[in-house]
Structure 1
C-alpha cells in the first residue's frame, strides 16, 4: 500500500509565518497535536504563451478558492495547497503534467486544463490513478460523451473527468440561432484552426446554421501559428458572406478578423468562448468592433452568487483579471474541496490513509457534489458534464465585450 506523505503545520510560529515540516504518514497527525493535514489540489493551464491571460485567470481563481477554504476552515483538520503547472496550451506537455500530478501523493484532485486537446491527452493518465480532474473550460463534447456523441451514442469514456463549463454541442448551435433568427444573417463562411476545440465548435455551428435554413458559402482552415491570413481573407471577400464563424482561439481569431475586414469584407467575425477575452479586443483594436463571441454561463456581474467572488478577487490584488473562466475555475476547485469534505466527514474527520483509496473516494464524491457557486448551481450529470446549461453572447461595442443575449439553448 502507498501512503500519503503529509505536511504537518507545527505549533511554532515565527515572524507571523507558519513553519511546515514533512512527517511521512497520516498516522503522525493525531488529534490534539496542533497540526492539520495538508492536501494538494493540482492546477494545469497555459500560464505562459499566447493564452496566458486565460490561464492566469484560471490559476488565480483556483488560488482564491483555496485561500477562502483555508481561511474559513471549510474542512476541519485539512489545509489545502494549490500547486500549478504550465502546459503552454500543448497536449504533450499537459500529459506530462498529468503524470507529475499522479506521481505526487499529496495531490487529491486537479483543476484544468483550458484547452480541449490538452484535456483529452490527460484523461487516461488521471483515470488510471482514480484522480479527479475538473476542467473549467474544456467544451468539446467528446471528452465526456465519447466519439460517437453526434450519432446519439453517448458513452462516458472516463469517470474521473468532469467539467463546470457546458459543451460545444449547445454553444455552437446557440450562436447559430442568434445569427440566423436575431441578426437575420443567412450566409456564413466557416473557418477553423483544425484543433479539437476549434474544429468541433465550427462543426456544431455549421450543422445548426444549415438546419435553420442558412447557407455555408465557404469553408477553410488556418494554422493558428501563422500571422498572414490574407489568402483566406480574400476567399471570404469573394464568397459574399454575411459574416464569418471562426472555431479557434483569440491569438489567431483577432488578426484573422482584422485581415478579413482590411480585405474589404466589412462583416463581423463570430466565435466561441475562446474569443471572449479582453485580449481579443486588444489584438483586434478597432477591427474587433461588431465581432461576437459566445461563452458558457451568464455574465458574472448578473449572478448574485458571483458578487463576493468579484469583490474578493479584486481585493486579493491579482495582477491579471479572472477573465472568461475564472468563475468556473473557482467552482471547479470548490467542487474538489467539497468532495474532500464529504469523504473526510464520512471517515472520522480525515481522508483515508491509502492514497489510492483516498483518490477513488474523492472522485466518487465529486460526482455527487452540489452547491451554489460563483457561476450558479454547480453539479454534474451522468457524463460528468455540468448541469448548468446557461450560455451568453457578447458583442464588441466601444472596445468592450458587451452582453447581448443570455439563456439556455433550445433545440430547433
Structure 2
C-alpha cells in the first residue's frame, strides 16, 4: 500500500515544532490507509534568511527521493515534514519529534543547527543525514591524529572541498598540538598560504617562513622559536632539502607536506616517498569525489524549484534514507522500534547516486569524500586512523 505524504504546511507537528509548507501530495492517502503505521522524515532547513532558497531545494529533493524509494512499504505511511533550523528552541523541538514517530532527519545547512540536534537524535538512535555539513569535528572529533566518531547515528552525503594543505594546517594545531609552526615554500606559494591561514584560524602561529632557498634560515628560526611542525609546499626536491635540514639541525618537529610528498621528480625513493623524508612525516590527500558535481533532479524538473547548493546531495541523502526505511520499517512495531535497525542498515549501503557513488566509511562520511591523513611508517604511507 502506498503511503508517502508531505507535511501540510507550517503548523504544529507536535506542541512546539513547526513545519515548512509543502505543496501537494507525493501520494494521496485513501480510506484504506487507516490501519497503517506512520513514520516521519523531518527535513531540517531554514524557513527564512539567506539560505531559504537552498532549503527549498533540499526539501523538494527529499520529497522526490523519499517518494521514489519509500512509497510502497507495506503497512506504513511515511510523511515528509520540514523543521525550521533557525528556530530559537530547535533542540527542544526536535526532542519533541523524537517522542513521536520520527524515523530520520535530513538536512542541517548550518553548523549551529547540526550541533544543536546531533546529541538529541543520537541519544535515541534517530538516523541523521546532512547534505551540507563538512566540519570534520562532527564525524571524527576534534583531534585529527586520533579520530573518534562522536555520534553513531550521524552520516553525511556532503563532500568536503578543503585543500590538503589547509587540512594539514588544522591538523598541525589540533592534532599535533603544535601552537608554533614553520613554513617552507618549495615552489607553491598558494599551498603555503593555505597552510599558514589554516594554522592561524586554528589558533596557532607561523613563527618561521621562507623559500626552499632559505631553508637553513627557516629551520634555524623554527628551532629558536619552538616550532613543533614544519610544512613544505611545492616539489619533492623541496621536501628532500627540508627533511635533510630538519635532521641536520636536530629540530624536534613533525614534517608535513601535501604535493611535496607525492615524489613526482628525481628525488624520489621507493613507495612514492621523497628521499630523505623519514618515518613520522604526515601528508594529506584530497577527497576523491567531486564536491561540485552537478545533477538533474526529478524534484526540480517537477516543481521548478532551483536545486541550490545542496539539492543533489540532499537527493542522495533521501535516497539512502528511503532505501533504509524499506528494509527496517516492515518488521518493526513502531517507528521508534525501527530506529536502531535503520542506523544499522545505513552502514551497509552502496549505490550510484546523482553525486557519485554513495557509501559511508566508519565515521559516517562519504567513502572518498574527505581529506585523508597518512603518516609514514616503515617507509610506507599508512592511514593516521590505523595508528592508534
**TM-score between both structures, scaled by the size of structure 1:** 0.53
Asked if 1:368 is matched to 2:348, the reply is yes
Q: Which position in structure 2 is the counterpart of 1:211?
A: 231
Query: How many Å separate the matches in 2 of 1:77 and 1:159?
Result: 28
1:110: how far off? 0.8
Aligned length: 261
1:386 to 347, 366, 369: 366
Aligned counterparts, 1:90-239, within 5 A: 93-105=89-101, 107-147=102-142, 149-150=143-144, 152-167=145-160, 173=166, 185=190, 203=202, 211-213=231-233
**CA distance 1:162–1:19, shift in 2 (3 Å):** same
Query: How many Å separate the matches in 2 of 1:324 and 1:201?
Result: 28
The answer to whether the 8 A contact 2:139-2:363 is kept is yes
**CA distance 1:56–1:213, shift in 2 (3 Å):** same
Q: 1:30-60: CA deviations, max 9, x gaps?
A: xxxxxxx443211101131122122222111
Query: How many Å separate the matches in 2 of 1:385 and 1:128?
Result: 19
Q: Secondary structure at the match of 2:361?
A: coil
The answer to whether the 8 A contact 1:44-1:94 is kept is no
Q: Which position in structure 2 is the counterpart of 1:313?
A: 299
1:127: how far off? 1.2
Query: How many Å separate the matches in 2 of 1:163 and 1:172?
Result: 23
Asked if 1:49 is matched to 2:60, the reply is no
Query: How many Å separate the matches in 2 of 1:356 and 1:190?
Result: 45
Asked if 1:81 is matched to 2:92, the reply is no
The RMSD of aligned alpha carbons is: 4.2
Query: How many Å separate the matches in 1 of 2:291 and 2:122?
Result: 31
Q: 1:56-83: CA deviations, max 9, x gaps?
A: 2211111111222356x4x455443211
**TM-score between both structures, scaled by the size of structure 2:** 0.56
Q: Which position in structure 1 is the counterpart of 2:322?
A: 337
The answer to whether the 8 A contact 1:111-1:135 is kept is yes
Larger % of helix: which?
1
Query: How many Å separate the matches in 1 of 2:190 and 2:97?
Result: 47
Asked if 1:297 is matched to 2:290, the reply is yes
1:19 to 30, 38, 42: 30
Gaps of 5+ in 1: 1-6, 10-15, 30-36, 193-198, 215-293, 345-349, 392-409
Gaps of 5+ in 2: 6-26, 170-184, 210-229, 235-286, 372-382
Query: How many Å separate the matches in 1 of 2:117 and 2:233?
Result: 39
Larger Rg: 2
**CA distance 1:51–1:8, shift in 2 (3 Å):** closer
Q: Which position in structure 2 is the counterpart of 1:58?
A: 58
1:175: how far off? 12
Query: How many Å separate the matches in 1 of 2:192 and 2:47?
Result: 38
**CA distance 1:69–1:8, shift in 2 (3 Å):** closer
